Amino acid sequence: MNDDFDIERARKDTRACEDIVHFNNAGSSLMPAPVADAFREFFDQEEMTGGYETADRNHAQLEHFYTATASLLNCESEEIAFIENATRAWDMAFYSFRFNAGDKILTTIAEYGSNVIAYNQCVKRFGVELVFIENDQHGQVDIQALENQIDDRVKLISMTHIPTGGGLINPAAAIGRVANAAGIPFLLDSCQGVGQVALDVKKIGCTMMCGTGRKYLRGPRATGFLYVQKDLIEQLDPPMLDQHAADLISPTEYVIRPDAKRFENWEQNFAGKAALGVAIDYAMSYGMPSIQRRICALANKFRDQLQDIDGVVITDEGLARGGIVTFTVANKTPAQVKTELANQGINVSVSDGSGSLVSFVQRGLTEVVRASVHYFNTESEIDYFAQNLRKIVST
CA geometry: angle 280, 284, 285, nearest 5 deg:
115
Domain ranges for the chain, please list them.
7-31+287-394, 35-285
pLDDT value of position 221: 97
On average, the pLDDT of the chain sits at 97
Q: What is the pTM of this model?
A: 0.97
Per the CB < 8 A criterion, the answer to whether 87 and 114 are in contact is yes
pLDDT in tens, 279-318: 999 999 999 999 999 999 999 999 999 999 999 999 999 9
Q: In the structure, what pLDDT confidence band is assigned to residue 353 with cuts at 50, 70 and 90? A: confident
DSSP state of 32: P
Beta strands in 253-380 (DSSP E): 253-256, 312-314, 324-329, 346-347, 349-352, 367-372
The SS3 call for residue 76 is coil
The class that CATH gives domain 7-31+287-394 is alpha beta
* Predicted local distance difference test score (pLDDT) of residue 395: 86
Beta-strand runs (E) in the chain:
21-22, 80-83, 104-108, 129-133, 154-160, 186-189, 208-212, 224-228, 246-250, 253-256, 312-314, 324-329, 346-347, 349-352, 367-372
Q: Are 356 and 113 in contact (CB under 8 A)?
A: yes
The CA distance from 367 to 389, in Å, is: 17
Q: What's the mean pLDDT in 47-51? A: 97
pLDDT per position as a tens digit, 182-230:
999 999 999 999 999 999 999 999 999 999 999 999 999 999 999 999 9
Does this chain's domain 7-31+287-394 share its CATH topology with 35-285? no
On the question of pLDDT at 2 being above 70, the answer is no
What mean pLDDT comes out for the span 102-127? Answer: 98
Which fold, 35-285? Aspartate Aminotransferase; domain 2 (3.40.640)
Q: How confident is the model at residue 1 (pLDDT cuts 50, 70, 90)?
A: low
